[in-house]
Amino acid sequence: MSTEQFFSALGTIDDKYILEAVTCQRNQKSGRLRWGAVAACLCLLGLGGFFLSGILYPRGTSQDPVVQDIAALDFNGCFYEVCDLDWVLEKHGLPGKITAEMAGEHLAYLQRDDGTRYEETTAQTEIELYQYAPSPCRGVYVVRDGERYAAALFCNIWQLDSNTHTEFSELYRIYGAGAAQDISAIAHTESRWGQEAVVGHIVTEPEAIAQFYAMTTALASYGNDDFQDAVFRGIPEEAMPDANTAFAEDGISVRIELTSGLRFSLRVYPGYGWIYTPGTLSYYKMDEAAYQWFETYFK
């Protein structure tokens, strides 16, 4: 066996090994707020990909390690991904296994479209979408595909174009949170060696949570185009990759846990004064209250 033969074969290994190596990064110090260990690894690279690696593949579809089909679901203007991997479910605050008892109200029948995605159908099929009985909301549904149960995890709202944006409060509503009292904890998280860990203390004080809720719901939202214009305008094209990287490295992950147990995350860029939520594909410009909150609780 030649070294090059080994080197070539190494290039074909399963994606999970590559993602693990891409998403690792040591702690870095950065940012206007001089937060301690910031800049976790799930910045621009990897977060979506790492998550997507845990997708449930409809039986009979491609398992090719390079080009894999996504068990995606479009439902009510939102994009979901269907998954039954315990560590992904637990990351979203769900039990490690989805069972029949968790299937609540029937919502729709689904069919598989060429194996890559589920879609709603008027025909009665063996694939059904249910409310998640322990916490009925749009943030998570239960999918029964034959005898197999999985969760449909909310990914993002479909935006009409690259400049459409959604208010932050809509994200809370999707997860069934209508008031600050529905939030149980807010934590700064980071990932090292692929594992998510909480940095510092977890904010659970009702007053702090109430401030956070009021602050986030008051933030002005921006679409991607307006955000790009506000942050990167005037930067020469050749300098853009570095500018994008610098922005990504400024970001920290903030995990919001609800009293229902469900969790979702957002990205805060303190050095630039922006918050991004993958769920709304929108950016939010930090105001003084936002700076103050993060200074106080995540310093």
Partner 1 sequence: MEDNAILELFFARSEQAIRELDSKYGKLCRTLSLNILGNSQDAEECVNDAYLGTWNAIPPARPSPLTAFLCKIVRNLSLTRYRANRAAKRGGGCTVALEELESCLASPRTVEGDLAEQELKRLIECFLDTLSQENRILFLRRYWFVDSYGDIARRTGLSEKNVSVRLTRIRKQLKHYLREQEVLL
Footprint on this chain of partner 1 (rule: CB under 8 A): 1-15, 17-22, 24-27, 44-46, 48-50, 52-53, 55, 66-70, 72, 79, 116, 155-156, 162, 193-194, 224, 240-242, 244-245, 278, 281
What six digits make up the tokens of 299?
């310093």
Nearer to partner 1, 70 or 202 (CB): 70
Nearer to partner 1, 73 or 102 (CB): 73
Give the span between the Cα atoms of 132 and 129, in whole angstroms.
9
Return the biggest CA–CA distance within the chain: 65
Nearer to partner 1, 271 or 279 (CB): 279
Nearer to partner 1, 100 or 240 (CB): 240
| Residue 189: C-alpha distances to residues 115, 133, 163, 228, 286 (Å) | 35, 28, 29, 26, 19
| CB 295 to partner 1: min, Å | 26
Phi, psi of 110, deg, nearest 5: -120, 160
| CB 25 to partner 1: min, Å | 6
Nearer to partner 1, 90 or 126 (CB): 90
Are residues 88 and 54 in contact, defined by beta-carbon separation less than 8 angstroms?
yes
What six digits make up the tokens of 89?
């479910």
| CB 4 to partner 1: min, Å | 7
Query: Among 214, 184, 216, 215, which residue's Cα sits nearest to residue 202?
Result: 184
Phi, psi of 201, deg, nearest 5: -90, 155
Nearer to partner 1, 66 or 179 (CB): 66
CB atoms within 10 A of CB 130: 20
| CB 246 to partner 1: min, Å | 10
| CB 8 to partner 1: min, Å | 7
| CB 128 to partner 1: min, Å | 24
| CB 39 to partner 1: min, Å | 12
Residues sharing a CB contact under 8 Å with residue 77, sequence separation 6 or more, in sequence order: 157, 158
Residues sharing a CB contact under 8 Å with residue 274, sequence separation 6 or more, in sequence order: 227, 231, 268, 283, 284, 285, 286
Nearer to partner 1, 48 or 136 (CB): 48
